Structure 1
Amino acid sequence: MIRKESKKILKKLFRVNHFIVVSVILQLNTGCATKSETEYKFKNPELPIKERVDDLISHMTLSEKVSQMRYDAPAIERLGVPAYNWWNECLHGVARAGEATVFPQAIGMGSTWNAPLLFDVGTVISDEARAKHHGFIKENKRGIYQGLTFWTPNINIFRDPRWGRGQETYGEDPYLTSRMGVNFIKGLQGDDPKYLKVVATAKHFAVHSGPEKSRHEDNYHTSDRDLKETYLPAFEAAIKEANVQSVMCAYNRYRDEACCGSNLLLNDILRKEWGFDGYVVSDCWAINDFWEPNKHELVETPAEASALAVSRGTDLNCGDVYDPNLSDAVLKGLVDEDKVDQALSRLMEARFKLGMFDPEEMVSWSKISYDVVCSDKHYKLSEKTARESMVLLKNEDKLLPLKKDIKSIAVIGPNANAKQVLLGNYHGTPLNNITPLKAIQEKLPNTKVHYAKGSHIANGWPLLQPIPASALRNGDNIGLKGEYFDNKEWKGEPKVTRIDSVVDFIWVSEKPFENASSDSFSVRWTGKIVPEESGEYRIGLRASSAGKLFVNDSLRVDFKDDHEPKMRYLDMKLEVGKSYDVKIKYYNYHTDPQAQLVWSKLDEDLLSPAIEAAKNSEVVVLCLGLSPDIEGEEMPVVLDGFDKGDRSEISLPQSQITLLKEIHATGKPIVLVLMNGSALAINWADDNIPAILEAWYPGEFGGSAIADVLFGDYNPAGRLPVTFYKSVEDLPDFKSYDMTNRTYKYFKGEPLYPFGHGLSYTTFSYSKLEIPEEIKTDENIPVTVEITNTGDIKGDEVVQLYLSHDKKLDTDGPKHSLIGFERINLEAGETKKVSFSVTPKQYARITADGKQEIKSGSVQFHIGGKQPNSKNHETTQLMTKTIMINDK
């Protein structure tokens, strides 16, 4: 007790030298200065984790504690604590950590409506994550994207199609999102009774889905009903069912509190109501928004921001504000050191659960061989997932599937051969990039395939391709001189000097030069651009980490981005016969190095070759949609219809609409393939194009999945996880989080394609629906039904179960709500029985004050392959039955 009081007094007396004072006190109290590593209790794997964590923290100084609460935690060498970077990504495959199996974007996985499949996907991703992590450790690499704590899945509700990050979610429905999220998390975290496989992170908590450009300042309000019915269920399921170990708080405010400093969200709901015992991590640099001008401005200083965040329950800072400001906050009495200890305890418990302080041979997951990465087994699952994500929106006169014996086919569109469109955002680096064009060429070796881009992705946003060797010179050499350095500052003599015919590098399995470290190197390319045609050009540099582009000795592009590869560009007029000096200075300081010098002729006629290709073909496959280059997270993009990563219009870009109509005018049959991350208002196409396939951003095998569906090697059965609206005029204000007139539950208009919609090449019938006529309020409701494949070929059916309450009892409630689904496979003529057990929580209504309520009265059940009252779905049917609930 005396020592404890002395410690407090000394802290107050010697604040200026507090780091030294605290260190001395702790050494005196614990004797750590004389202990060997083996004497530390936290080193003993036989002891309970809580005891080990408490022991470790007891040996730390205040500054050491705070250092471990930033995402890039340094080593504490005197205690034998290695450095650890908490920032890792695996939204649809291990990201930014070298070669990896890349699955369809999350919205595509949501379209599978196959929750068990998401468990398998999570298992594969965590296998690769573990193999990579232990490979990095063997090379003594502990940097960003090399750890085991992954900031995924994104289980926010895709309430508005304008949100650029909606592609990262599983859709607009809380129940669908929760089932997909729970299975994915379980696959990631594993089932070992002692050790976590990886840590999953449910994000972004909570009430967060755009707009991107104002996320650092926005303050959202919802009714209690919307909060509990829409925005929280997926998070509750992640915690209570999947035992997710981490939650990431959001940038915005909710009910006047910053989400990363919200007593309501982080304490009352997350920990007290749900019993969450893991750790909370801030979104990146979100704590800075607490005090920075023109943002939340809740406090005046970084120390106050740190104190607020930690006192409310944000344990880990993605950013650097905690260190050293949190130490200052403790010494100023803004937050008690016990709060720091509590936060650090949660963090260290996660690291112990991952086995990071135990011998590798004790951790079962460490035995996963690196051979699993990009293995055939993993590739097959990625391709299976891509196939199951395909949603057939329309198939008039059964144009699909196409015959393989056609003599000629045109593959047209900006997305027909674009690799980036396969991947979406937050993606890994694949070894395969099978585009629709490539897959169709491989599937039809005896068919003449005519290819044309047809248009830019949007007016003002051309598709950039690597500048060819024919347009690059260095003296008498074709290409550019590349000087490669083993540091990131271009210092000293280059390790390698060579001529690179093009600058088009994604170094994955190969290093940029022999004995290079993929984590830290730099390259300087020099030479000249010699255009073969005059015109207006866009010249771009796509690079990981950082890049500078000089033209005629003038710095024209300069950017640093430590998150993922980005592209910056300049527009300029080039004249044939002239040469233009070019210099690129590129460096990389984490994995997945990438550098590309790209261009496009802005005034090039893309339309005429496309029309010619269509005229010379029997059928046209038109690949349109969006691109992760223009929809995504907080982007600098400002184009007509787009707004800093979000969209201001939900139609196709005008350049593609023009292409669509011109190709239609040729009179050739057209199959429209959409590749995008969010719903599109393709009204004209729906009226005029006979067959439409939604493919999303389908992963590295996406082109194969598309071709398999188009030519009948796979029968599509994906279902829309979002509503496709007809116009932005159908939508409420983007910043309003009120659910009125949003999503299938509350939308009052007629959608273009409804949530749950998706066609098949076969047909299904439903029969023998069995539900009790009456139940008591505390009873589960058994539901069984038989489904028969009434067509000629095998196929999957997605059985969807919806519930609607009596509108007399629930005037403001949803029209109906999804409460069950199952994807089944049926041979032609086969019948299967599907069963559901509906819990009281599922059939309860949410009252205005956010409470669950079950009253006597009738409820309706709707079961089939579609949503109640939906149109455009001729391949399946729906059955409805009303039952009585009795509270006596």
Structure 2
Amino acid sequence: STFPGPLGMAASFNASLWFAKGDVLATELRAFSNTNWHRSNVDNQIQYTGFGPNINIARDPRFGRTSELPGEDPYLSGTYATHMVRGMMQADAAGHPKMLAYLKHFTAYSTETNRQHSDFNVSSHDLWDTYLPQYEMAFRSAQPAGAMCSYNAVNGRPSCANGYILRDVLRNQWQQPNAHITSDCGAISSLRGAPVFAPDDATAAAVALNNGTDLEMGSQVYASLAEAVARNLTSSTLVEEAFRRAARILFRGGRFDPPATVEWNAYGVQDINSSATQALVHEATAQSLVLLQNRHGILPLAPGQRVAVVGPLVERGDALLSDYASLVCYDGTYDCIPTLGASVTAANKGGATTVVPGVDVNSNNSSGLAAAVAAAQAADVVVAFLGTDKTIEREGLDRVNLTLPGLQGLLLDQLLATGTPVVLLLNNGGPLAIESYLNRTAAVMETFNAGQFGATVMAKALFGQVNNFGKLPYTVYPAGYVTEQAMNNYDMALYPGRTYRYLVQAPVFPFGFGLSYTTFN
């Protein structure tokens, strides 16, 4: 089952939904493990360890992994993680957690460019006011299995070799002595480069182990730990402590107990994407959409009209998924995900719906513009579905600006010039700067990455079949913001400021903003 991405889930501001998502995730993970499923495209059998939730702060709107985050506010992020982890790690009668949850990426990670060798200056105030509170809240309140340390360095110390953060803060100050720390993939081998410049694998392994990282992923540097002990770079005592924390996790999950004593071993195929879960995902999706504008009450639309559904995403189910969505369709394709074009066609009963992509997400091919404009001219209303996909923002790829990519801005201008009312739906991770269109669009709805039933629920929302809109979990900045703020500067208060807590300029839309079809007085 694929819920809306974390931004959409956070936009619901509904803690029970966050718990429910964690519960479903753990149930299905156990079911996959029990039935010997393998991860897509690899030989590894699915187990019951999950590296998430990701609660890095949406510090900069260009960050490529914003789609994985619950937003820009530490309290919101910490509350989200607390309830989701409680759902993931609820225990059976014998005390076995349903799955093992690891918070990531610990900590102050929000830049993809040169991410494995980046070093950011972070003040003590910002560290404790922005980059640590959500982790402390979740560790103290939900007791996750551990954390994944991040690629970046903070004040000269890579996170996976930062004894202050891993040992002094997490294990000692927060009283989590058994927190199991694993590296992000390749983070230990990165210690061979800047800023540590370890001369060999044994030294890199020792630096990480000495500072609190128990387990390496993605490389084989820890294979040199025996050499590191022999060279007195580390000690067998620390190796044993790391092993004990890893073994404790396995015992805690029930790996060595009689199968019948672990309640979760009863889960099977029938518990994967069940009808009850599908209903829950539909409800979560309805609460994830944010209505940003509704001039003259154009929404909800009345069925039976001539509707043009236009934009590069109208026939793409894959674009509805956030960066770390996994297998959705059984055959490995995205064909089972409803598209917006098909969903609006089904919802517009008695009407005529025309579906025209017009342009690609990010290209200069204008050959489809004329057909899109013609469809708009012949329609009573246009639904424009625009935004980003993984060619624009993802792990390993930050954005360089906040504007609509490719020819999408030109397409929107030409649609608006027809005089037909335009309802703009946005699909994105990081926020899009749309201020130049707001005085011409009839309505705007932020959908983030709405998941497997996203298009179905969007269509229902457009035609008034659902009215459970959420609120923005981050600030929407104007396009010029990125020219005033260097992405690699981690000072939250540096002019013009970051997030709603420090921004001194007027945003396009503020954190927490969202409308409804309901009129309140």
Q: What SS does the corresponding residue of 1:123 show, helix, strand or coil? A: helix
Partner Cα distance (1:303, 1:270) in 2: 25
> 1:351 is matched by which residue type in structure 2?
L
Match of 1:700 in 2: 452
Higher relative contact order (CA 8 A, sep 6+): 2
Deviates more, 1:647-656 or 1:200-209: 647-656
> 1:230 is matched by which residue type in structure 2?
T
Matching of residue 426 in structure 1 with residue 324 in structure 2? yes
CA contact (8 A) 1:420 1:628 kept: no
Match of 1:280 in 2: 181
CA contact (8 A) 1:282 1:314 kept: yes
Residue identity (%): 34
User: Deviation of residue 163 (structure 1)?
Assistant: 0.1
User: Deviation of residue 458 (structure 1)?
Assistant: 1.6
Alignment of 1:72-87 (within 5 A): none
Matching of residue 402 in structure 1 with residue 402 in structure 2? no
278, 281, 290: which is aligned to 1:391?
290
Q: What SS does the corresponding residue of 2:314 show, helix, strand or coil? A: coil
Matching of residue 345 in structure 1 with residue 244 in structure 2? yes
29, 46, 56: which is aligned to 1:129?
29
CA contact (8 A) 1:306 1:321 kept: no
User: Deviation of residue 369 (structure 1)?
Assistant: 2.9
Choose between structure 1 and 2: higher strand proportion. Answer: 1
Match of 2:310 in 1: 412
Matching of residue 625 in structure 1 with residue 387 in structure 2? yes
User: Deviation of residue 420 (structure 1)?
Assistant: 1.4
Higher-Rg member (1/2): 1
Which whole-Å deviations, capped at 9, do the CAs of 1:370-428 have from their partners, x for residues lacking one? 2010111111111111110000000011111100122x110000011111111121112
CA contact (8 A) 1:131 1:370 kept: yes
User: Deviation of residue 267 (structure 1)?
Assistant: 1.1
341, 344, 347: which is aligned to 1:443?
347
CA contact (8 A) 2:107 2:132 kept: yes
In 2 relative to 1, CA 137–709 (structure 1 residues): closer, same or farther, beyond 3 Å?
Answer: closer
Matching of residue 115 in structure 1 with residue 19 in structure 2? no
User: Deviation of residue 449 (structure 1)?
Assistant: 1.0
Match of 1:53 in 2: none
Partner Cα distance (1:729, 1:199) in 2: 39
Match of 1:246 in 2: 146
Q: What SS does the corresponding residue of 1:736 show, helix, strand or coil? A: coil
Partner Cα distance (2:49, 2:195) in 1: 28
Output the TM-score relative to the length of structure 2: 0.95
684, 702, 718: which is aligned to 2:436?
684
CA contact (8 A) 2:303 2:349 kept: no
User: Deviation of residue 323 (structure 1)?
Assistant: 4.3
96, 101, 105: which is aligned to 1:204?
105
In 2 relative to 1, CA 688–137 (structure 1 residues): closer, same or farther, beyond 3 Å?
Answer: closer
In 2 relative to 1, CA 324–429 (structure 1 residues): closer, same or farther, beyond 3 Å?
Answer: closer
Matching of residue 663 in structure 1 with residue 419 in structure 2? no
492, 512, 516: which is aligned to 1:760?
516
Partner Cα distance (1:327, 1:418) in 2: 51
Output the TM-score relative to the length of structure 1: 0.56
Match of 1:739 in 2: 492
CA contact (8 A) 2:35 2:268 kept: no
Q: What SS does the corresponding residue of 2:104 show, helix, strand or coil? A: strand
Alignment of 1:163-242 (within 5 A): 163-192=63-92, 194-210=95-111, 212-242=112-142
User: Deviation of residue 629 (structure 1)?
Assistant: 3.0
In 2 relative to 1, CA 675–124 (structure 1 residues): closer, same or farther, beyond 3 Å?
Answer: same
Matching of residue 266 in structure 1 with residue 166 in structure 2? yes
CA contact (8 A) 1:412 1:610 kept: yes
Partner Cα distance (2:375, 2:72) in 1: 39
Partner Cα distance (1:227, 1:422) in 2: 33
Alignment of 1:9-88 (within 5 A): none
Which whole-Å deviations, capped at 9, do the CAs of 1:272-297 have from their partners, x for residues lacking one? 100112200001100111113xx334
User: Deviation of residue 679 (structure 1)?
Assistant: 0.5
Alignment of 1:508-519 (within 5 A): none
User: Deviation of residue 703 (structure 1)?
Assistant: 0.4
CA contact (8 A) 1:155 1:178 kept: yes
Partner Cα distance (2:323, 2:372) in 1: 29
User: Deviation of residue 761 (structure 1)?
Assistant: 0.8
CA contact (8 A) 1:391 1:693 kept: yes
Partner Cα distance (2:418, 2:476) in 1: 28
Partner Cα distance (2:390, 2:6) in 1: 13
Corresponding residue pairs, total: 508
Which whole-Å deviations, capped at 9, do the CAs of 1:1-53 have from their partners, x for residues lacking one? xxxxxxxxxxxxxxxxxxxxxxxxxxxxxxxxxxxxxxxxxxxxxxxxxxxxx
Structure 1 unmatched runs, 5+: 1-100, 461-602, 635-644, 765-789, 791-888
Match of 2:61 in 1: 161
CA contact (8 A) 2:32 2:268 kept: no
Match of 1:614 in 2: 376
Moved over 4 A (4+): none
Match of 1:456 in 2: 360
Which whole-Å deviations, capped at 9, do the CAs of 1:114-138 have from their partners, x for residues lacking one? 1111001110111101111011189
User: Deviation of residue 429 (structure 1)?
Assistant: 2.1
Q: What SS does the corresponding residue of 2:49 show, helix, strand or coil? A: coil
Partner Cα distance (1:307, 1:178) in 2: 32
188, 191, 198: which is aligned to 1:290?
191
